[in-house]
Structures are given as C-alpha cells and as structure tokens.
C-alpha cells in the first residue's frame, strides 16, 4: 500500500535498516513472564536497597509508549495488557550495540520484549533496568500525541485499536462488558438454564417488531432474514421439552443508527416453563442487584449524574397509571381517539392516523412522555394487548397482557411476559397484525406457520424475557452512547478507511 506520509516513509526506511543489520522485525519466539501492573503492585512497598539485594530478573513485553533520551540513559514506558511500567536503558548496563539500536531504531509504538531487574528511581517509581531487549514488532505508523491521546470520536470508532492503545479507560469498559455477560451467563446456568444457539438467519422474520436485513442464500435459492429476535425459536425449544433455555447473542435490525441504536446489538433472551412474568421480575431484580454489588460493591450506581438504587423490590407501575400520572394524559382523553390525537399533537407528538390500534398510540405517547422519567429501576406492567402479540392475555382483563417492561435511567432495558401458548389466539393475533402490514412496515412480512404448528403440539405455560445487554453495559459503565460500549460500532463508509 502506498503511503506518502513522511512519518510513515521514515518508519519503513528504518525497518529496512534494522533488517539490514540482521535483526528480525517480527519474530515470535519471545515469551514474557511478568505483567506491568502486577510488578508495580507487588514491589511498590519494597525499598531500593532490598530490590538491589534480591537481583530478581523479570521478563515482559509491551508497546513503547514514551521515550526520554538523556544521552547515556534512556527512560521509556512500555504498556502491556495490564498497564504501563517505566523501563530504563543505561549505556553502562547493556551492550553498546543494544544501546545504539534502542536509541536509533526503537520508536514509540514498537512492541519490544525486555529482560532486566527492578529498581526504584529517585522519585520512587518502580522501573525495570533493562539488561537486554528484543524488537518484537515494528510499528510503521506513529501513535497519536502522548498527552491528549486520540480524542476525535470518529477516529476513535474507526480505529478502535488505536483508541484502545491510547485510552486505558476504554479497555475498562470492555472488561466490564465481558464481566456483565459472564455474570449473567453464570447466573442463568446456576439456575438450571441451558444455553442454546438458534439460527441467526431466518426464513421468516419474527419475534419482534422491526425491519429485518435481508440476505440471499445461493444454494437454497431463497431469501433469508437476519434475525430480529430469537424468540420464536426458543419457544420451539420449550415445545421440544427443554424447560429453561437462554440465548445471549446478536440481533439485527435494519433501522437508524443513534446514540441508543446500533444495527446489530446483543440481546439476552431466556424462557422458563411453569413460570410467569411475576417470577421473571424477581429474577431481573436479582441479576441487576447482584451485578451492582459485584461491580460497585454497593446497590447504588451513578448513571449520567443520577443515583440509581438497585435494592429490590423495585417500583411497579401500571401502563395506564404511568400514562396518566407521569405522562399527564387525562382520564377522559385516554380512550378517546380524537382527544388523544389532539393531546399528542399539543405535545409535539405525531400519531399515525391510519393506525387503528389505539394501543400503538399509547406506546408512542409513553415513549415520549413517560420513558424519560423512569430513572429508578421500574417495572411497567399491564401492557395493552394490541402491542403485545406474543404475550399471554391477563386473566384479570383480556385487554391487558401479562407483561412488563423494565426501565432504568430513562431507557427501556428489558421486556418480558407470560407467554401466549394458545395456538388459536396466537393465530388470531398474527392475522390481525397482518392486516396492518401496509401501515406499519415493522410488522413481519409473513406469518411463521411452523411456529404455529409447534404451538399446536403444545408449549408448556411459560414466561420469557429479553434484556438489552448493550444498554445494561451503558448503565453500569455510565455511558450515554451505545457506541461507547460496542467495540466496533457501525459508521458510514469513508474513503481512506
């Protein structure tokens, strides 16, 4: 690849000079034994005299992050996965050749392996006095400025690898992400759930309301949809006799990109036979409370300047009650289409007049007026049946679904319900939904007949829940943008990238 940047040319030339000296620029026979962070932790309290006496040799590898050449001494920091540690090359301690090579040919950004003993500088910093070193990887591009690092958000996302090198806090986010996923997985497995993998490519899109990505299978000569949700497959597994299953993986939705939406995102769905959405509320509280204790050693976290308390039990509020009390929708307006339409319009909310489902209107108003107010963990219960096509009808009132949505920090985080397992009702709901396809492009393009057949074989009474993992990570890492918790968020293509 041609690069006309002066800085890169210089590095390529240097690489050639190194190789001309018979030095390998990309060897793979160096095995580090020590890590920067642990050396610092272990030896911080030990005096220079004691370190001198012990004469221990340490072996580590890392990227050169700074270089301060003082003539016959060169101080430098190298960075491994755990952090940075200072190293010192002294002309008196290494061969003349090594010293020359380090001074002349080792650049900031190169990865090197070093052997040496620990010393403390006069300021008390644990430092490795190098006895020998090896070039392990030559870097051909300069790192960003050492003090400010890489700030440009666009560059940070497009070159996450550089972001990770320069901004140690970014690594923490993704460690926390991994921890959260591991914690949830451990919880479910310890509760007897089986982790499963169902298709990512669906012949029929379903399980949620969203526009799917379409792809094409050559050999089968058919269109496939990237899944918008695994729900209908997980339910088939309950028909098949698994009683507790979960899947923790990616979903794909062909929608806009925003600070809370990435076209692919990570979702946990779990299903439990002989349980109701009430049981799942308890599990949800357990999971989040446990996570807060593990991550913060406290039931409290701060999200975007707001203190959030995960101590169970959490607040529950009925959907209508929330619309009235938090959304300010008057009682007489709620069920009157015309009044409701005008009420929304007054609030700057445009409702789709062609949509006959008043429930759809309610959820729209709910999103705008209620959602942002639900800061503390809150279960919103008793959802309108019209917008819950896969949920069981409430025994109390057939117009409600036995369903909850969980809100934290003003965002929807989880959605759960007692599952509809009456195949007759399920078919009716699909068919009703079908009629609306022309006015609502999020309705799946066809009915999943095989799913209905499976229900006819009998799915045990059960409850299921979906948790948006990216949002959970946002909450626990206090990030307002989903892109900060996804390693490689999707951006528009750009030349030079």
Partner RNA sequence: GGGCCGCUAGCUCAAGUGGUAGAGCAAUGGACUCUUAAUCCAUAGGUUGGAGGUUCGAGUCCUCCGCGGCCCA
Q: Is 382 in the site for RNA (CB under 7 A)?
A: no
Q: Is 151 in the site for RNA (CB under 7 A)?
A: yes
Q: Is 145 in the site for RNA (CB under 7 A)?
A: yes
Distances (CA, A) of 199 to 229, 232, 251, 252, 288: 10, 10, 11, 12, 28
CB of 373 to RNA, least distance (A): 13
Q: Is 63 in the site for RNA (CB under 7 A)?
A: no
Residue from the set 147, 169, 190, 396 that interacts with RNA by CB under 7 A:
147
Q: Is 125 in the site for RNA (CB under 7 A)?
A: yes
DSSP string, 304-318: TTEEEE-PSSPEEEE
Distances (CA, A) of 240 to 195, 202, 453, 493: 15, 19, 12, 44
* b/e code 296-334 from CB counts within 10 Å (16+ = b): eeeeebebeeeebebeeebeebebbebbbebbebeeebb
Of residues 294 through 323, those in contact with RNA by CB under 7 A are none
Binding residues for RNA, total number by CB under 7 A:
59
The contacts of residue 438 (CB under 8 Å, 6+ apart) are none
Please tell me the distance from the alpha carbon of residue 380 to that of residue 459, in angstroms, as a whole number.
26
Please tell me the distance from the alpha carbon of residue 127 to that of residue 116, in angstroms, as a whole number.
10
Residue from the set 2, 348, 395, 396 that interacts with RNA by CB under 7 A:
348
Q: Is 122 in the site for RNA (CB under 7 A)?
A: yes
Q: Is 25 in the site for RNA (CB under 7 A)?
A: no
Please tell me the distance from the alpha carbon of residue 302 to that of residue 469, in angstroms, as a whole number.
18
Q: Is 21 in the site for RNA (CB under 7 A)?
A: no
Q: Is 157 in the site for RNA (CB under 7 A)?
A: yes
Task: Evaluate whether 173 touches 156 at the Cβ level (below 8 Å).
Answer: no
Q: Is 492 in the site for RNA (CB under 7 A)?
A: yes
Residue from the set 32, 59, 83, 142 that interacts with RNA by CB under 7 A:
142
Tokens 């958000």 correspond to what residue?
A: 153
Tokens 């012990």 correspond to what residue?
A: 54
Q: Between 321 and 481, whose beta carbon lies closer to RNA? A: 481
Nearest alpha carbon to residue 335 among 384, 285, 279: 384
Q: Between 166 and 317, whose beta carbon lies closer to RNA? A: 166
Q: Is 97 in the site for RNA (CB under 7 A)?
A: no
Q: Between 281 and 369, whose beta carbon lies closer to RNA? A: 369
Q: Is 265 in the site for RNA (CB under 7 A)?
A: no
Strand order across the beta sheet in which 222-226 lies: 201-202, 222-226, 214-217
Nearest alpha carbon to residue 41 among 85, 78, 89: 85
Q: Is 123 in the site for RNA (CB under 7 A)?
A: yes
Give the tokens for residue 40.
Answer: 């610092």
Give the tokens for residue 1.
Answer: 């690849």
CB of 11 to RNA, least distance (A): 8
Q: Which stretch binds RNA (CB under 7 A): 141-149, 212-220, 226-234, 381-389?
A: 141-149
Residue from the set 21, 42, 56, 153 that interacts with RNA by CB under 7 A:
153
Nearest alpha carbon to residue 251 among 415, 378, 385: 415
CB of 85 to RNA, least distance (A): 10
Cα 15–chain centre separation: 38
Q: Between 72 and 453, whose beta carbon lies closer to RNA? A: 72
Q: Is 170 in the site for RNA (CB under 7 A)?
A: no
CB of 455 to RNA, least distance (A): 35
User: With the C-alpha atoms ordered 337, 338, 342, 345, is the resulting torsion angle positive or negative?
Assistant: positive
Q: Is 121 in the site for RNA (CB under 7 A)?
A: yes
Q: Between 97 and 493, whose beta carbon lies closer to RNA? A: 493
Q: Is 44 in the site for RNA (CB under 7 A)?
A: no
Q: Which residues contact RNA (rule: CB under 7 A)? A: 5-7, 10, 14, 66-73, 75, 77, 86, 88, 90-92, 104, 107-108, 119, 121-123, 125, 127, 141-155, 157, 256, 258-259, 348-350, 368, 480-481, 483, 491-494
């Amino acid at each position: 690849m041609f690069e006309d940047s002066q800085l890169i040319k210089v590095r390529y030339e240097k690489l050639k000079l190194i190789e001309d000296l018979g030095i390998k620029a990309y060897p793979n026979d160096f095995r580090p034994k020590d890590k920067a962070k642990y050396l610092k932790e272990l030896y911080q309290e030990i005096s220079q005299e004691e370190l001198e006496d012990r004469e221990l040799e340490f072996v580590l590898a890392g990227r050169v992050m700074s270089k301060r050449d003082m003539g016959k001494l060169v101080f430098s920091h190298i960075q491994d996965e755990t952090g940075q540690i200072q190293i010192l090359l002294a002309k008196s301690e290494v061969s003349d050749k090594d010293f020359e090579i380090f001074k002349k040919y080792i650049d900031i950004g190169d990865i090197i392996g070093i052997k040496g003993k620990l010393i403390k500088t006069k300021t008390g910093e644990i430092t490795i006095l190098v006895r020998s070193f090896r070039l392990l990887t030559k870097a051909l591009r300069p790192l960003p400025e050492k003090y400010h690092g890489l700030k440009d958000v666009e560059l940070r996302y497009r070159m996450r690898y550089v972001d990770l090198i320069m901004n140690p806090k970014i690594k923490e986010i993704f460690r926390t992400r991994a921890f959260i996923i591991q914690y949830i997985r451990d919880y479910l497995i310890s509760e007897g759930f089986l982790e499963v993998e169902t298709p990512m490519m669906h012949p029929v899109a379903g399980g949620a309301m969203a526009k799917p990505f379409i792809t094409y299978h050559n050999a089968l000569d058919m269109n496939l949809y990237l899944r918008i949700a695994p729900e209908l497959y997980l339910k088939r597994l309950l028909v098949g006799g698994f009683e507790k299953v979960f899947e923790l993986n990616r979903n794909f939705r062909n929608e806009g990109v925003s600070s809370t939406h990435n076209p692919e995102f990570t979702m946990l769905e779990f299903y439990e036979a002989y349980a109701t959405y009430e049981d799942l509320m308890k599990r949800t509280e357990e999971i989040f409370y446990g996570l807060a204790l593990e991550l913060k050693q406290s039931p409290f976290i701060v999200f975007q300047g707001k203190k959030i308390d995960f101590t169970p039990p959490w607040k529950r509020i009925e959907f209508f009650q929330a619309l009235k009390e938090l959304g300010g929708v008057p009682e007489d307006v709620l069920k009157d289409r015309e009044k409701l339409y005008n009420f929304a319009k007054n609030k700057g909310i445009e409702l789709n007049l062609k949509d006959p489902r008043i429930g759809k209107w309610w959820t729209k108003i709910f999103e705008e007026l209620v959602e942002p107010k639900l800061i503390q963990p809150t279960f919103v219960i008793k959802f309108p049946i019209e917008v819950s096509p896969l949920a069981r009808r409430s025994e109390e009132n057939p117009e409600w679904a036995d369903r909850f949505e969980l809100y934290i920090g003003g965002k929807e985080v989880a959605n759960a319900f007692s599952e509809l397992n009456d195949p007759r009702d399920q078919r009716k709901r699909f068919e009703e939904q079908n009629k609306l396809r022309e006015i609502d492009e999020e309705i799946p393009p066809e009915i999943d007949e095989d799913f209905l057949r499976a229900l006819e074989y009998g799915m045990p009474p059960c409850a299921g829940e979906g948790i948006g993992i990216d949002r959970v990570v946002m909450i626990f890492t206090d990030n307002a943008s989903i892109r900060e918790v996804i390693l490689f968020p999707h951006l528009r293509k750009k030349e030079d990238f």
